[in-house]
Amino acid sequence: MHRTGTWRKSGYVVVAWAVMALIAACSSSPGGSPASPTNAAAAASAGGGSPIKIAIIDAQSGQLSSLGVDEVQGVKLAVNAANQAGGIDGRQIQLQVFDDKGDPTTSTNVAQAVVSGGYVFVFGTAESTDSLAIAPILEKAQIPMITSGQADALANLHDPFMFLNTPTSSAFDQTLANYAVKTKGFKNIAMITNNDSYGKSEHDAFLAALKGLGVTPVSDQVVTPDQKDFSAALTSIRQGNPDALFIGAEEVESGLIVNQAKSLGLNAQIIGGAPIFSVPFLQTAGANANGCIGTSPYLGNNVNDKTKAFAAQIKQAYGVEPDLHQAKAYDGAQIVIMALKQTHGQGGKALADAIRATKYDGLVGSFSFDANGVGVHQTQLGVIQNGQVVPLQ
């Protein structure tokens, strides 16, 4: 509207004031204060009938993109079913996937976009390092998050808006150390871990578990997450003639370590956490994966009727066989859906409190969240046979 002239009729004045009032109303929150990123989630959840916006922050490209893709499948399976059943009080859940490339810098940029985008909840990430990077941003905005990271550092944040859909490294590694020392009687145990957040957590947790059992590693080698040649570290380990080799690294790197250990003639029993049961590990290690022993809250799709039904649904929807990452993402999504029904779609602290109060018997265990946001506290032992994970007898 061109406004260089003079208003002559009172009717024009009324219209002008009405337009100005409408503009002011659109730029303010219901309480009269300007809209801001930190209250965007609450504003979005207050609109009757509007979609409930949820973000997934996970790698869709890069070395570990298969994990992020798996987790999106698990979340979508649960959310699609909820939407088909009527959503949350008639409101649909609207998912938006953000690719953080498995990179913490990208993750923080994405988290800032989520904060300003009116999202009430975040799923992700698969990597502990990325989850640690975005946690302070989401906590400040009071946006709850469920992560698939396992590092003890996540629980040690004591973040009231952070939740884990998997046990921490301490739970994985205590189970594994007990098996190696108490059941098998191994005394000469070597370690190789990387120095990112996940690897450091694995290192510290397994080392503490060994020390608690009176065992000192014969070798303790630390590598970098992007390392490809482990011959120096593995040669040093071989000199100690270990009974077992503990690997604390992500999926692809763990597979490379196993292959190089075998090529160097290192015949120690390979043991490790959840990454050695993943599809990327199995694909990387190939036949060398057979005989590796690990621990996980999810030991395959044929464990019981619940896992069989879930695997059939994933297969029908996406044409793939699920593993731990689809399963724990599905469990996390079911918990959030239950909590959203309790809050009638409201986000913020109300949603965080509802998640913490939710009890759920899931695919990866019975969820009961503690004060640090950890929902599942036990893992099970498994072994790889003919390229498949089976419970260890």
Q: What is the pLDDT of residues 182-199, one digit of tens each?
A: 999 999 999 999 999 999
Predicted pLDDT at 266: 96
Q: Which residues of 245-277 are buried (b: 16+ CB within 10 A; e: fewer)?
A: bbbbbbbbbbbbbbbbbeeeebebbbbbbbbbb
Confidence of residue 126 (pLDDT cuts 50, 70, 90): very high
Q: Is 296 in a helix, a strand, or coil?
A: strand
Query: Which fold is adopted by the domain 42-167+303-377?
Result: Rossmann fold (3.40.50)
* Residue 227 token pair: 């390392």
Average pLDDT, the chain: 88
Taking the domains of the chain in order of start, what are their residue ranges?
42-167+303-377, 170-296
Q: Is 60 in a helix, a strand, or coil?
A: coil
Residue 41, pLDDT > 80, answer no
3-state secondary structure 98-143: EECCCCHHHHHHHHHHHHCCCCCEEECCCCHHHHHHHHHHHHHHCC
Looking at the DSSP bridge assignments, the partners of residue 28 are: 34
Contacts 24+ apart (CB under 8 A), 335-343: 335/146, 335/163, 335/165, 335/360, 335/362, 335/367, 335/375, 336/54, 336/121, 336/123, 336/144, 336/146, 337/78, 337/79, 337/82, 337/88, 337/93, 340/52, 340/88, 340/93, 340/121, 341/88, 341/89
Q: Which is more confidently placed, 233 or 35?
A: 233
- The CA distance from 59 to 193, in Å, is 22
Average pLDDT over residues 43-53: 65
Residue 44, pLDDT > 90, answer no
Residue 24, pLDDT > 60, answer no
Q: Which is more confidently placed, 41 or 106?
A: 106
Residue 58, pLDDT > 70, answer yes
Backbone conformation region of residue 89, classed left if phi is above 0, alpha if psi is from -120 to 50, else beta? left
Average pLDDT over residues 118-123: 97
Cα Dmax for the chain: 97
Residue 349, pLDDT > 70, answer yes
Per residue in 271-292, pLDDT tens? 998 899 998 999 999 999 999 9
Could you tell me which CATH number the domain at 170-296 has?
3.40.50.2300
Average pLDDT over residues 226-238: 97
Predicted pLDDT at 63: 82
Predicted pLDDT at 270: 98
Confidence of residue 129 (pLDDT cuts 50, 70, 90): very high
Predicted pLDDT at 30: 29
Predicted pLDDT at 289: 97
Predicted pLDDT at 253: 97
Q: Which is more confidently placed, 390 or 44?
A: 390
Residue 16, pLDDT > 50, answer no
Residue 350, pLDDT > 50, answer yes
Terminal alpha carbon distance of the chain: 79
Confidence of residue 7 (pLDDT cuts 50, 70, 90): very low
Predicted pLDDT at 8: 33
Predicted pLDDT at 214: 97
* Residue 159 token pair: 């973040």
Predicted pLDDT at 291: 97
CATH fold match for the domains 42-167+303-377 and 170-296: yes
Average pLDDT over residues 98-123: 97
Instruction: Please give the distance of CA 69 from its chain centroid, rounded to a whole number.
Output: 12
Predicted pLDDT at 64: 81
Supply the DSSP symbol for 193. E
Residue 161, pLDDT > 70, answer yes
The one-letter amino acid code at 50 reads S
Residue 34, pLDDT > 80, answer no
Confidence of residue 75 (pLDDT cuts 50, 70, 90): very high
